[in-house]
């Protein structure tokens, strides 16, 4: 009877797990207790608060407990869903679960809130990795706005305006305000009104609009208004009533942009379907009056549309003939809109930039200008002014050289005309 072979066994020293490889137990309550204790010991001296947070970052894991840290600094304790402060279940516990060193315990005036903003600023300059968590936590806190007291909402709105004015985080943090219940109850509109007022006290409207546009939040402003009352007119009227006409202007600009896109789309369809010029003129006149569009922006819009409806030949020698033939069909549409020297000049500069941006048209610029001159779209004075002082820097040397002989001809013709009159 054969004996079973003995199984091999491992022998030797068992390796210990390195301390750095051991997973730290997730314990937000202990982190809170340590932070709250330390903040309370500062006596609400914000200089000491900043020093404490700076030093403590080397001892406590800010990276793992970033959300808890910012909960405490905004609300004074850990926030449960809905916005209430989480308290210990043990009633006999002597540990403090909240602190008065937070945004909600500041005074409502802007000066006090700016002072507390500096606490955030110093903390994030010291620990750059907290920036993303800061924005995400602020977005979450804004979602809980309904559960906060009115005075806390006010402080939160003001410090959010200060934070955005200083570029401390992007306007994407405002996504928390688009929660259905907040919008429905008018909380989002009330909060954003105060927040925008504070932001505009710190920065001009161009900075506000640029930040909103960069994060694509400008397209969602209307969503702050309750659905049952939502309209452009109601939104504009609200901000004008609140003495914030600049915010109303942002929405007007947005609406005008949408109207221009729609106009360009419909006009492009009319060009492709070869509608009569008279029908296009009537349509353009109606849209200009309806949407308050000026000659300059409309003539540029028409140029972009008629040039964007054609698939241009890639060869320079063929695209010239194609372009001139196309412009002969729609030149009268341009002359119908461009009735003033300003709008003519705006069109000529646009043509220059178009030819520069589309390499196949670099050698066609002069021919386009000449044909539009012959069709009375561009006047002699406007061409001369463009040549001498009002041209764009795009392709300047190339286009001025192209136009030099034609400009010389115009000037000579002007001199001969003056001599005939004498």
Model confidence band, residue 21 (pLDDT cutoffs 50, 70, 90)? very low
| Shared domain check, 288 and 175 | no
**Is the whole-model pTM more than 0.85?**
no
Q: Considering the chain, what percentage of its residues have pLDDT values greater than 70? A: 91
145 contacts 83 by C-beta, under 8 angstroms:
yes
Is 94 exposed, middle or buried, given 0-12, 13-18 or 19+ CB atoms closer than 10 A?
exposed
294 contacts 281 by C-beta, under 8 angstroms:
no
* 257 within some domain: no
271 contacts 301 by C-beta, under 8 angstroms:
no
Model confidence band, residue 9 (pLDDT cutoffs 50, 70, 90)? low
Does 410 score more than 80 pLDDT? yes
Task: Out of 1-15, 88-102, 198-212, give the one with best mean pLDDT.
Answer: 198-212
* 221 within some domain: yes
Confidence at residue 422, expressed as pLDDT on a 0 to 100 scale: 44
Q: What is the mean pLDDT of residues 180-195?
A: 94
Confidence at residue 166, expressed as pLDDT on a 0 to 100 scale: 93
Q: Give 180-208 as a 3 state SS string.
A: HHHHHCCHHHHHHHHHHHHHHHHCCHHHH
**pLDDT tens per residue across span 129-173:** 999 999 999 999 999 999 999 999 999 999 999 999 999 899 999
Boundary-marking domain end, from 206, 230, 254: 230
CA distance 367 to 42: 76
| Shared domain check, 291 and 144 | no
User: What value does the mean pLDDT of the chain take?
Assistant: 86
* 237 within some domain: no
**pLDDT tens per residue across span 367-390:** 999 999 999 899 999 999 998 888
CA distance 48 to 37: 13
| Shared domain check, 407 and 280 | yes
CA distance 98 to 87: 8
**pLDDT tens per residue across span 354-364:** 999 988 888 88
Instruction: Report the range of poorest mean pLDDT among 208-212, 230-234, 273-277.
Output: 273-277
| Shared domain check, 321 and 220 | no
Does 290 score more than 90 pLDDT? no
Boundary-marking domain end, from 215, 230, 245: 230
Confidence at residue 187, expressed as pLDDT on a 0 to 100 scale: 94
CATH classification at residue 375: 1.25.40.180
Neighbours of 374 (CB within 10 A): 11
Q: Which two tokens stand for residue 357?
A: 């941006």
Does 341 score more than 50 pLDDT? yes
| Shared domain check, 270 and 173 | no
Does 2 score more than 90 pLDDT? no
DSSP-derived secondary structure letter, 211: H
99 contacts 39 by C-beta, under 8 angstroms:
yes
* 17 within some domain: no
| Shared domain check, 371 and 283 | yes
* 238 within some domain: no
288 or 67, higher pLDDT: 67
* 7 within some domain: no
| Shared domain check, 409 and 351 | yes
| Shared domain check, 73 and 221 | yes
Q: What is the mean pLDDT of residues 390-398?
A: 87
Confidence at residue 171, expressed as pLDDT on a 0 to 100 scale: 93
Does 22 score more than 80 pLDDT? no
| Shared domain check, 342 and 296 | yes
Domain range for 69: 28-84+96-230
Closest CA to 302 of 274, 263, 259: 263
Q: What is the mean pLDDT of residues 398-422?
A: 74
1 or 238, higher pLDDT: 238
User: For the chain, what is the domain count?
Assistant: 2
* CA-based radius of gyration for the chain: 33
DSSP-derived secondary structure letter, 104: G
* 340 within some domain: yes
Confidence at residue 241, expressed as pLDDT on a 0 to 100 scale: 92
Does 406 score more than 60 pLDDT? yes
| Shared domain check, 103 and 49 | yes
Does 277 score more than 70 pLDDT? yes
Q: What is the mean pLDDT of residues 241-261?
A: 84
CA distance 315 to 325: 16
| Shared domain check, 178 and 35 | yes
Q: Considering the chain, what percentage of its residues have pLDDT values greater than 90? A: 45
Instruction: Report the range of poorest mean pLDDT among 45-54, 97-106, 192-201, 248-257.
Output: 248-257
| Shared domain check, 185 and 105 | yes
Q: What is the mean pLDDT of residues 41-64?
A: 92
Is 339 exposed, middle or buried, given 0-12, 13-18 or 19+ CB atoms closer than 10 A?
exposed
Model confidence band, residue 3 (pLDDT cutoffs 50, 70, 90)? low
* 252 within some domain: no
CA distance 61 to 123: 14
CA distance 124 to 118: 10
């Amino acid at each position: 009877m054969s004996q079973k072979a003995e199984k091999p066994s491992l022998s030797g020293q068992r390796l210990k797990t390195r301390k750095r490889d051991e997973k730290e137990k997730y314990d937000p309550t202990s982190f809170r207790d340590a932070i709250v204790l330390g903040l309370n010991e500062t006596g609400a001296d914000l200089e000491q608060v900043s020093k404490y947070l700076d030093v403590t970052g080397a001892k406590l894991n800010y990276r793992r407990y970033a959300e808890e840290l910012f909960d405490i600094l905004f609300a004074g304790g850990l926030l449960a869903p809905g916005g209430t402060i989480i308290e210990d279940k043990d009633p006999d516990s002597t540990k403090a679960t909240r602190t008065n060193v937070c945004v909600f315990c500041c005074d409502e005036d802007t000066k006090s809130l700016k002072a507390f903003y500096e606490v955030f600023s110093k903390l994030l300059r010291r620990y750059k990795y907290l920036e993303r968590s800061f924005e995400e936590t602020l977005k979450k806190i804004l979602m809980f706005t309904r559960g906060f007291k009115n005075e806390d909402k006010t402080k939160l709105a003001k410090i959010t305006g200060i934070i955005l004015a200083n570029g401390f985080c992007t306007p994407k943090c405002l996504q928390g305000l688009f929660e259905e219940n907040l919008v429905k109850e008018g909380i989002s509109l009330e909060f954003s009104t105060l927040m925008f007022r504070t932001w505009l006290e710190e920065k001009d409207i161009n900075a506000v609009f640029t930040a909103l546009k960069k994060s694509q939040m400008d397209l969602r402003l209307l969503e702050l208004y309750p659905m049952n009352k939502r309209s452009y007119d109601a939104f504009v009227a609200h901000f004008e009533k609140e003495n914030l006409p600049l915010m109303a202007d942002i929405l007007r600009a947005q609406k005008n942009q949408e109207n221009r896109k729609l106009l360009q789309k419909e006009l492009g369809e009319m060009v492709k379907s070869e509608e009569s010029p008279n029908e296009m003129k009537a349509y353009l006149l109606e849209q200009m009056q309806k949407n308050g569009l000026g000659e300059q922006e409309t003539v540029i819009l028409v140029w972009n549309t008629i040039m964007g409806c054609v698939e241009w030949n890639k060869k320079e020698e063929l695209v010239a003939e194609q372009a001139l033939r196309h412009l002969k069909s729609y030149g009268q549409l341009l002359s119908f809109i461009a009735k003033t020297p300003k709008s003519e000049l705006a069109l000529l500069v646009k043509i220059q930039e178009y030819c520069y941006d589309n390499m196949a048209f670099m050698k066609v610029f002069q021919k386009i200008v000449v044909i539009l001159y012959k069709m009375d779209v561009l006047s002699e004075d406007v061409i001369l002014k463009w040549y001498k002082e009002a041209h764009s820097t795009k392709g300047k040397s190339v286009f001025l050289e192209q136009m030099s002989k034609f400009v010389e001809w115009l000037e000579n013709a002007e001199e001969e005309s003056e001599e005939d009159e004498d």
